Structure formats: structure tokens, C-alpha cells
Chain A
Amino acid sequence: MKKLIKSGLFLAIFCFLWSIVFNVLGLAKTPIGQFYKEKKDTVDVMYIGSSNVYTQFISPLAYDKYGYTTYMLTSASQPFPAIEYLLKESRKYQTPKLYVIDIAKVCDKGELFNEGDIRNTIDQMKFSQNRTEALNKILDFTNILEREPEYDENGDITEEAPNKDYYTYLFNYSLYHNSWKNLTDFNFKGDIRYYKGFRFNSTSIKHEEHVYNQWFDERSELDPENKEALMSLLNYGKTNNLQLLFVIPKRVFTDDRIKRLNEAYDIIKENGYDIINFNLVDDFDINFKTDLYNSNHLNVYGAIKYTLMFSKFLNDNYELPDHRGDKNYQSWAEEYERLKLSFSDLTNKSFDSQLDIYSNYSDIDLKKVLLEN
């Protein structure tokens, strides 16, 4: 009996030390990893999706203007099937009144995602059954365990074969442990470039010939696995009586993707949910000389436009509380201040001045767009 207690104590201390080590040396936490730090039941809106989410919506700004909290559960190149599991994950800790779901990736097949894309999402999640299920689904979707390396014409490797050992995905502690060599703020505070899930770039690219596709009205079938994931998500929303709002971000899409997105649009509407296609909002005018960080993502100026427009829409059309002044929500105010400081350091302009310049974006009537389509 004494030996059993000794062993138990040994293991307990070991687990404790282990968790400390991995909190410090593990993967730097990006929005999904940082999500767990939010106080329970303080998030009013969960905004889930891929890179178009974290580059576009400035959640601290929405908080400052209207007082509701929006957490962005995002990762770069997030495979669409992951969304349902992220939604489930968020429900363990939060009770948001609204879920905003960016469906940009619903038109992307599994084989387009690589090991890094999977890890961006999965490695950030806490170990749980939900995470395991998400992992299995995504591994199946991307077929990554069967992938061979890619070669170019010369026979040189262009893309390494991904890790084929299932357990290195399931137990990601083995990776990134090399970060002991360079401990930085990223290790202790998480990736400080994110502000409640929002991350910005202040640079803009100069695209002379950059033009958004003319959106057109054709449809084509979704890839079956994405369709299944979409249906599952919609059913989950219905079963659990969740308020879901879907969005298609303003972005350059290829023609065949546009067709698939239209199909998704229809499916969502048929199931009784609202969806806004920002490519159809004429007044959402993106200046390709100043508002783009790269051809697929807005920079901070584009994000200001989007946030002013979208945050007002959310405030006006959904019953969202106002927490400004509440000490419990201090972190949101603090992140906003930090964001403004960071912005002026990088651009030598004041954030408030930019808000003034683009203030007319608050006047765009998205509800009309919603009702029209």
C-alpha cells in the first residue's frame, strides 16, 4: 500500500512538472491555444474560421465601440471539418449568444492541406475526446498519413512527406520541445501578435492589376466530405438551438470555388440560417492599393473597414450585452489599448484617426444585403 502511494505521488508530481514544462516550452499559443485563458462565460460572440477571420475582425475594437466580447477561434488554413469541433470545444467553456462562421474553406478539398495546417489547429487544442475526434476527422479528410513527398521536374523535393506516425499528432508534446533554445515572450505569454484572436499587418502590397472576380450565380457540387461536414455542423446547430451566422469573406476566389461557395450558400439558407456574402456588398469597397496585406488577406486598414461595418451589424441585429466598465472584462479593454499602441508604433499614426477616416463604413446596411439575398 505504501508503495502504491509512493508511485502515485511520484506520478502526480511528474504530471505537475510536465504541465509546467510544456506550458513554457510547448508550442507558442495562438488564438485557439490562448482561448482557454478567457474567463468562463465571458465571450458573447464566437467567430470561427480560417485566416480571413483573424486578419479582418478587430474584436477589441468591437468591444470598445459596443461592449460585447468577440473571441476569434481561428488558425491559418483551417480545414473546414475542424469548425464543428472548434465550436464544440468553445461550448465547454463559454456560452456565446452568437456564432459567426467563416465558410471560406468549405470549397477546399482535403488534399490541399498539409501537416502544418493540421497542426495549427489541432496542436493548439487541449487534449480531450473532442480533440481526438477532430484529429481523426481531419487526418481522414486530408489523408495525410498516406502522403508521399512532392518532387519537381529535377527530382528535388518540393514538399517533404508529412509525419506518418499517428501518435505524434495525438500526443504533440514531442514536438517543438526545441524551443528551450530560445525562450521568448512567445513561450510565456503566448503569441503576443494576437489581440483576442485578431492579428494585423500594417503593410500593404501594391497590386496594379488586382481585381476581384465578378461574382456570378452558378453552382457546383461541394466536395462530399466538406458537404458532410457542413450538414453535420448545421444539424448540430439545430439540435443544440444555437444561433449561427455564416459569412463568406471578401476575397479572390477562383471560378470553380465561387460555384461551390454558392452551393454552400444555398444549403445554409435552406436550413434556415443567415449568411452574408461580403463579395456582394457593393459598399464594402476594398482599395487594392492600401487595404491588402497580400492578395488573399486584408491588412489592418481593410480590417478597420470590415470591423466598423460588421461590428455595428452584429450589435444592431443580435441581443448582445455591453460590458464596458465591468472589471471582469478588463482584459478586453487592455488588449484594445495594447493594440492601439502597437499600431501607432508600427505606422506612426494614431488608431483613432484611422477610425475617423473610415467612419462611414459603420453606415453600411448589411441587414439589407442579408434580406435581399
Chain B
Amino acid sequence: MGLTSFTFLVFVLVTLVGYFIVPKKIKWLVLLVSSLYFLFYDNLTFDIVGYVLIILLVAYIFALLIDKYKNETKKAKILVVLSVLIILGVLIFLKYTNFIGITIKHIGNIFGFSYKFQKVYRNVPIGISYFSLIMISYVVDVYRGLCKPQKNILKCALFMSYFPILTSGPFIRYKDMNELYEPHKFDYDRMCRGLIRIAWGVFKILVISERLAIFVNFVYANYLTYNGFYIALAAIFFLLQLYTNFSGSIDIIMGISKIIGIDLPENFNGPFFSRSVTELWRRWHITLGAWLKDYVFYPLQKSGFIQEIGRFTKKIFGKKISKKIMLYLAMLIMWILIGAWHNGAYTFIIGSGILQFIYIFLEDMLTPIAKKINSKLGIDSETFGYKLYQRIRTFLLFALAMIFFSAPSVGKALDIIRNMFVWNPWILFDNKSLYLCGLDLYDFRVLGLAIIVLFVVDYYKYIGKDVTSWLFKQNIVFRWIIIYSLLFAIIIFGCYGVGYNPANFIYRQF
């Protein structure tokens, strides 16, 4: 169900009412039933149920076993590795078969083998890319002694399928989700905060993301004609579209979960105010980064493989450089995995993987040089102007990488980038060229205003202030004016209804 659809609204209302009226002891059961309904909505087939059950049962049973054998480290290790491999296996089978097949075909072609590969279309459970990794983190955390396994399989199932997570995450950790099973009473204040968050998310999606999509889709479908600055603008718009879509979805589900009484970890923290791509990834899809750090990056860095390379290179290059080599090797592997997680296609592995690694690597290499230049030239790197330059640079670099993210193939992405180098800046100023792409003057005005509001709110998030709390401190009249403005902005300026496609969740296919 689309998060901005009427069906979803009814679903949430029923769930909330059900949750708050049933007796305390079975409140969590209401969440379980709703979550399973959402999980299997429009997708109730034997194979789907099968895959879900495999992951659930493997995680549940192995967690209990690992805990039982926690003093026999060898047995425990075998169990955890086995469970991780099985769950990963299901994920790879469901989502990466085509990628693996095509890669083998390409490799085969290089060596002269002609290998036919027929693409398969598989029906996947919604949220598989999230809950499979979440269950892996569950088993591993039990192995690491960070939490006790859940003895009740139904409660375990609730953790795995908690419906707010299924659309776009965030990645939750079992040890932080005790609240899932605690009964929560209805709280008026929580409801108000949750509703505002939901409205903010809907605003981002319907007013900004869907509107930008019109322009982006048009230019990318006609990029040979609409080249140069059109493409540059489309790339910038696409990044904003992606951000508002993704973070808007997160806002909606966070708001819903807040009303229930369960707080989920944040995924975004004013990313576009980052002064470097390195910093950006601490503010963008935060829980993904955290998951990878704890379950891939650290284990990788500490692993024998990397440590051996470290010892080897230390002899040749010295300690400092060998540390860097260890770091960047582990990081490269991690980024390739991040790219692959987004989708089994080279565009994603490059766009949200390798390119990001290159950016971060170059930033690390060039920062000391930049510091030297700045000090020699007397440039103060803490001025507003300098920070602005850094932020714009970060944004543009990220937007460039996202061209790969949105293109259907690497070749297409490169072609689009090639066509970007056409000198036609007048299209931005001649008062008509921009309106040929599906948006008119009014749309641009709405976008301009909405994006300014977005950045203002995000700036406060960046510096650590909570806009919702600020809003609640205001007097009721001012507060209600703001809320009504938000609601009616969605109603009047939102892109929905006849003529618009229902919100396309770019992160939903995960």
C-alpha cells in the first residue's frame, strides 16, 4: 500500500484504534496482526509466506541455540555463521539472482563463453532488504551477548515484521525494541507530535517530491534535446526528489510509530548541510551506516584478512600508510556492499557505492593539502562563505553520483553526463525554457517556497534543535496557523489525484 494512499490511511486508523482499545496484555498482538496484514497485503502466496517463515524460523531457532551454547564458542560460532548465511542466502536468491546471472554472463563473454541468461522476475516480500538484515543483526547480537533471545516466536515475528519498518526502514536493533511489547496508553501529546511529523512527511512527498519527479522524468526521457543545464537541474532535482521521498516516508512511519508509543531511530539529520561527503553519510540513511559499521565494517577491519594485509604493508610502507590501506580496503568492500544493497545493478553499485568511496577517499587525501593551501593563502575555513562552498560542493557531488542511481544502465548514465556538458545557461533565465518540462511558473514558485521551508527545518535539525518542540512551545493560535498552513499546502499544492501517479517510493522496492 502506498504510504500516501487512502487504503493505508484506513489501515493505520484501524490499527491505532484497535491498539488503544484492547486490554494491555494483547496490545502487542494487535501490532503483530496489523504488521502481518501489511506484510502480506496483496502478496499472500505460498512462496512469499515460505521465504518469510524461513527467515523467521532460522533467526528464532538459531538465536535460542546460540544462547544455549554461549559457553561453547566453537558451536556458537558455527551456528551464527550458518544462520547468517541462510538468511543472506534467501535475500540473495530473491533479489540478486538476475545480477549474479548477468555478471556471470559478462564474465563469460570476456573469456569467450557465450552463456545465455534468462532474467527471472521474482515476487518478494515487502521490506525483505530491511528485515533480513535486521534479523541477521538479531542473531549476531545474541551471539555477541548484547541481548537475550526472544523465547516467544510470535513476539519474534512482531520484531521482524513491525509494519512501519517494512516500507523504508529504519534498521532497528532488537536490544532497543523492548517497547514493542510494552503496552502503551494513548497519549494526546504524543499523538499531536506524531501527527505533525506525519503531515510534514506527506508534505515533503506530495508537494515537493512528486512535483520534482515530473521535471526529472521529462528531462531524463528527453535528455538529448533537453541537455546541458536541463540535465544539471534534473540531477539536482532528482537528489531533492529522492531525499524528500525517502525522508518523507520515514517521517510518516516515525509519526505513526510515535503515536503508538514506540520511538524509532532517526535516519536523517540535515544531510545537505554537511560540509563533506564523509559527513553527509553520517547524516543520510544513518541506520544503514550504523548497521554496516557494526556488522560489516568493524568485523572486516578486525578480521584476520585485513590485519594480515596491515602487517604486510606496514613493513613496506610504514605504520601510517598501512593503517590507511587497511582502512580503505575495508571501506571499499563496505561501499560496494552498500551500493549492492540498494539494488543488484551496476548503476547502484557505482552511484551509491564506489563513487561515494572515491569521494570519501579523495576527501581524506586532499583535506591536509587543502588545509595547507588555506593557511598559506590566509583563507578562513570557518566563514559562512567557505562553509557554503563546502555544502554546495558536497550537494553537487552527491547529485552527480545520483545520476547513476536514477539511470537504467551505466551506459545511459554516462551518456546523460556527457550530454550535460552543453553550454546553455540561458534556459534558466529566459522565462520560458524551464516551463517546457511539465512544470509551469506556479509549480516553480511552490517548489521554491517549499524547498526553502524544507531547508530551514533541516538546518535546525542539523544544529540539533527539535522543530516540533519549538512549535509546541508557541502559543496555540500561532501553532494552529502553522499546522493549518501545512495541511492546506498539502491539500492545495500536493500532486495527487487524477493526472498524477501515486507516490513512487524509490526506496520501497527494498
B497–A17 touching, CB < 8 Å? no
A214 within 8 A of B: no
User: A17 and B484 in contact (CB under 8 A), knowing A3-B188, A165-B6, A175-B498?
Assistant: yes
A10 to B480, CA, bound (A): 8
A180 within 8 A of B: yes
B442 within 8 A of A: yes
User: A177 and B484 in contact (CB under 8 A), knowing A165-B6, A168-B498?
Assistant: no
- Chain B positions within 8 Å of A14 at CB level: 484, 487
Closest to A25 in B: B492
A181–B496 touching, CB < 8 Å? no
A360 within 8 A of B: no
B505 within 8 A of A: no
A153 to B6, CA, bound (A): 37
- Chain B positions within 8 Å of A175 at CB level: 497-498
- Chain A positions within 8 Å of B6 at CB level: 165, 167, 171
Least Cβ distance of B259 to chain A in Å?
Answer: 13
A21 within 8 A of B: yes
- Which residues 487-507 of B have a CB within 8 angstroms of A? 487-488, 491-494, 496-499
- Which residues 201-238 of B have a CB within 8 angstroms of A? none
Closest to B498 in A: A175
- Chain A positions within 8 Å of B487 at CB level: 14
B380 within 8 A of A: no
Over the window 133-164 of chain A, the binary record of Cβ atoms lying under 8 Å from chain B Cβ atoms (1 yes, 0 no) is 00000000000000000000000000000010
**By the criterion of a CB under 8 Å from any partner CB, how many residues of chain A are at the interface?**
22
- Chain A positions within 8 Å of B494 at CB level: 177
Closest to A167 in B: B6
- Chain B positions within 8 Å of A19 at CB level: none
A176 to B497, CA, bound (A): 8
Over the window 12-27 of chain A, the binary record of Cβ atoms lying under 8 Å from chain B Cβ atoms (1 yes, 0 no) is 0110011001000100
B480–A17 touching, CB < 8 Å? no
A174 within 8 A of B: yes
B497–A181 touching, CB < 8 Å? no
A17–B492 touching, CB < 8 Å? no
- Chain A positions within 8 Å of B488 at CB level: 17, 21
B491–A177 touching, CB < 8 Å? yes
A180–B493 touching, CB < 8 Å? yes
A314 to B440, CA, bound (A): 52
Q: Is the interface of B mostly helix, strand, loop or mixed?
A: helix
A180–B492 touching, CB < 8 Å? yes
A175 to B484, CA, bound (A): 20
Closest to A174 in B: B497
B480–A13 touching, CB < 8 Å? yes
Over the window 157-200 of chain B, the binary record of Cβ atoms lying under 8 Å from chain A Cβ atoms (1 yes, 0 no) is 00000000000000000000000000000001000000000000
- Chain A positions within 8 Å of B484 at CB level: 13-14, 17
A165 to B496, CA, bound (A): 12
A175 to B491, CA, bound (A): 10
- Which residues 1-57 of A have a CB within 8 angstroms of B? 3, 7, 10, 13-14, 17-18, 21, 25
A181–B442 touching, CB < 8 Å? yes
A177 to B498, CA, bound (A): 10
Closest to B480 in A: A10
- Chain A positions within 8 Å of B492 at CB level: 21, 25, 177, 180
Closest to B493 in A: A180
A21–B491 touching, CB < 8 Å? yes
A174–B188 touching, CB < 8 Å? no
Over the window 166-188 of chain A, the binary record of Cβ atoms lying under 8 Å from chain B Cβ atoms (1 yes, 0 no) is 01100101111110110000000
- Chain B positions within 8 Å of A176 at CB level: 497
Over the window 4-27 of chain B, the binary record of Cβ atoms lying under 8 Å from chain A Cβ atoms (1 yes, 0 no) is 001000000000000000000000
Least Cβ distance of B210 to chain A in Å?
Answer: 13
Least Cβ distance of B252 to chain A in Å?
Answer: 18
- Chain B positions within 8 Å of A180 at CB level: 442, 492-493
Over the window 104-134 of chain B, the binary record of Cβ atoms lying under 8 Å from chain A Cβ atoms (1 yes, 0 no) is 0000000000000000000000000000000
A14 to B483, CA, bound (A): 10
Least Cβ distance of B503 to chain A in Å?
Answer: 13
- Which residues 402-456 of B have a CB within 8 angstroms of A? 440, 442
A180 to B442, CA, bound (A): 9
B442–A163 touching, CB < 8 Å? no
- Chain A positions within 8 Å of B188 at CB level: 3, 7
Report which residue of A7, A10, A165, A178 has the largest number of chain B beta carbons within 10 angstroms of its beta carbon. A178
Least Cβ distance of A272 to chain B in Å?
Answer: 44
Least Cβ distance of B192 to chain A in Å?
Answer: 9
Least Cβ distance of B100 to chain A in Å?
Answer: 35
Report which residue of B442, B480, B491 has the largest number of chain A beta carbons within 10 angstroms of its beta carbon. B491
Closest to B476 in A: A6
Report which residue of B440, B442, B497 has the largest number of chain A beta carbons within 10 angstroms of its beta carbon. B497
A35 to B498, CA, bound (A): 26
- Chain B positions within 8 Å of A18 at CB level: 491
- Chain B positions within 8 Å of A178 at CB level: 499
Closest to A2 in B: B188
- Chain A positions within 8 Å of B442 at CB level: 180-181
- Chain A positions within 8 Å of B497 at CB level: 168, 174-177
Closest to B441 in A: A181
Closest to A20 in B: B488
- Chain B positions within 8 Å of A163 at CB level: 498
Least Cβ distance of B105 to chain A in Å?
Answer: 31
A-B contact pairs, 14 of them (CB 8 A): A13-B480, A14-B484, A14-B487, A21-B488, A21-B491, A25-B492, A163-B498, A167-B6, A168-B498, A171-B6, A178-B499, A180-B442, A180-B492, A181-B440
Give the interface of B toward A (CB within 8 A).
Answer: 6, 188, 440, 442, 480, 484, 487-488, 491-494, 496-499
Q: Beyond A14-B484, A18-B491, A163-B498: 15 further Cβ-contacts under 8 Å?
A: A13-B480, A13-B484, A14-B487, A17-B484, A21-B491, A167-B6, A168-B498, A173-B491, A176-B497, A177-B491, A177-B492, A177-B494, A178-B499, A180-B492, A181-B442
Nearest 4 A/B pairs, CB to CB: A174-B497, A181-B442, A167-B6, A3-B188
